[in-house]
Amino acid sequence: MMGRHGGNQDRLFYSFNLDAHVPADHLLRAIDRFLDLADLRRHLATFYSHTGRPSIDPELMVRMLLVGYCFGIRSERRLCEEVHLNLAYRWFCRLGLEDTVPDHSSFSKNRHGRFRDSDAFRQLFESVVERCIAEGLVGGEGFAIDASIIRADANRRRGVPSTQVIDWPAPEQRSRAVRDYLAALDEAEPVGSPPKQVSMTDPAARWTAAPGCPAYYAYSTNYLVDVQCGVIVDVEATAAHRTEETEATKTMIERVEERHDLKPQRLIGDTAYGTGPMLEWLVQDQGIEPHVPVWEMAERDDGTFSIRDFQWNEEADEYRCPQGQPLRSQWRAFSTPRSHITQADTIIYRSSQLACAKCPLKPRCCPNTPMRKIARSLYEKSRDMARRLRDTATYRQSRKDRKKVEVLFAHLKRILKLDRLRLRGRRGARDEFLLAATAQNLRRLAKRWQQMTMIEAIPAT
């Protein structure tokens, strides 16, 4: 007999258990096991007044934000609607059926106010990293570093050339992003060359472009990842500029050692991190093996001898060419000693013009110049060490491990939908990147726990 549903929704009282309606294998159940917000109120206490109306619970704010970042809900208005409708989201946010979800405008006001002025998201991220370490997901032997460009919330047409004198709005009319940018200019000089364009909406965003793509304003999210299980041990927001990205690497390695007592034996990266100063810092200052391709600027592709064809003599401070002739930084003594160091942190070694004129190999060495010159970097010892590591089995494994960072960036943009920022300014980018990295680490903890639970549930045979 065909059944018929009564559809009676007029009952006055219901017996309803919210916990019973959230599946046991739901992702948020596993995340809730590893999320500890016990210190959040104490950390934010100084940002709240002791009088007035009660504000939105900061723990509720953080839990709602984590729901948004874990499930790719980018709009704050839509996030409030989803938390209102979804029982699992209500359960995770500690809301009952009759509890009111914060209005999206109040939610945004609190997020852009107290949370932006504090480092609460940094504290949250580091507490999750500590939990990953406690759960055995962080080995600490090898770290991988990389950066990914995230489009800023700035119209590419609302920009002016950096060489032009910018008429900024009056101080009382400036946005938070403009105020932060001008304050940063007063505190320190910009790193690297000036950008081609400066955004009037988000001046700290960098005008950049990928090969074959139109230019736009963007920031870089820098991930330092432990290669054992792909846990993000630190994250830093920078402008989309290579110099800032390499400096952020130093900051993150030092901060991880200070906060978590972790120092890697090897650092894995691409050619952008193979510059002389960076390799020198890794090898000489930190004692870390650089599993990084060396940035070679002196390689030749015209068939003539490259620098590898010349032998270096450390004691004599000279090169020897294939014909055995020396190349020296100076051929006579000067009354005033000279360092011979160029602005590029190199020393130029030159051969004898007379010897080169008689050399039968001159067409293969310096066919268009009277003598051969070699620019030797001040950091050549560290560069040589990085070259020697390329032939080891550990280095080949490091090339495979580097993909774990790229997978995290793909997950960040395709699954978590963070391909464009919603907050402006360097601090806004920092908060978004910290929350996204926190969500990725929590998801990894949750997935690992779910896998271990399934393995334990399989009966032994």
CATH 1.10.287 fits 132-293+390-429, yes or no: no
The interaxial angle of helices 176-187 and 425-457, nearest 10 deg, is 100
Whole-structure pTM value? 0.88
Inter-residue contact 39 to 122 (CB < 8 Å): no
Among 121-130, 149-158, 221-230, 388-397, name the one with the lowest average pLDDT.
149-158
pLDDT grade for 262, boundaries at 50, 70 and 90:
very high
Query: What's the pLDDT at 190?
Result: 57
**Residue of higher predicted confidence among 459 and 294:** 294
The token pair that represents 180 in the structure block? 């932060």
Inter-residue contact 293 to 273 (CB < 8 Å): no
Task: Give counts: helices (H), strands (E), the chain.
Answer: 17, 13
pLDDT grade for 5, boundaries at 50, 70 and 90:
low
**Residue of higher predicted confidence among 1 and 347:** 347
d(CA 429, CA 442): 20
Closest CA to 268 of 246, 293, 234, 291: 291
Q: Which amino acid is at 24?
A: A
Q: How far is CA 325 from CA 316, 328, 353, 430, in A?
A: 13, 10, 11, 55
pLDDT for residue 67 is more than 80: yes
Inter-residue contact 222 to 252 (CB < 8 Å): yes
Query: What's the pLDDT at 85?
Result: 93
Q: Which amino acid is at 153?
A: D
d(CA 299, CA 371): 17
Among 43-47, 107-111, 189-193, name the one with the lowest average pLDDT.
189-193
**Residue of higher predicted confidence among 213 and 139:** 139
Averaged pLDDT, 186-211 = 75
Residue 71 φ/ψ, nearest 5 degrees: -115, 15
Domain edges within the chain: 19-118, 132-293+390-429, 307-332+341-379
Among 160-174, 321-335, 367-381, name the one with the lowest average pLDDT.
160-174
**Residue of higher predicted confidence among 71 and 297:** 71
d(CA 451, CA 25): 11
Query: What's the pLDDT at 139?
Result: 92
pLDDT for residue 456 is more than 70: no
Q: How far is CA 131 from CA 235, 251, 403, 425, in A?
A: 16, 22, 24, 30
d(CA 423, CA 431): 8
Averaged pLDDT, 209-228 = 90
Query: What's the pLDDT at 107?
Result: 85
The token pair that represents 346 in the structure block? 């190199």
- Kindly report, residue by residue over 146-196, the tens digit of the pLDDT: 999 999 988 888 777 777 776 667 766 677 677 677 666 555 555 666 778
DSSP-assigned beta bridge partners for residue 239: 219
- Kindly report, residue by residue over 352-366, the tens digit of the pLDDT: 999 999 899 999 999
Tell whether the torsion through CA atoms of 127, 131, 132 and 138 is positive or negative: positive
Residue 376 φ/ψ, nearest 5 degrees: -100, 125
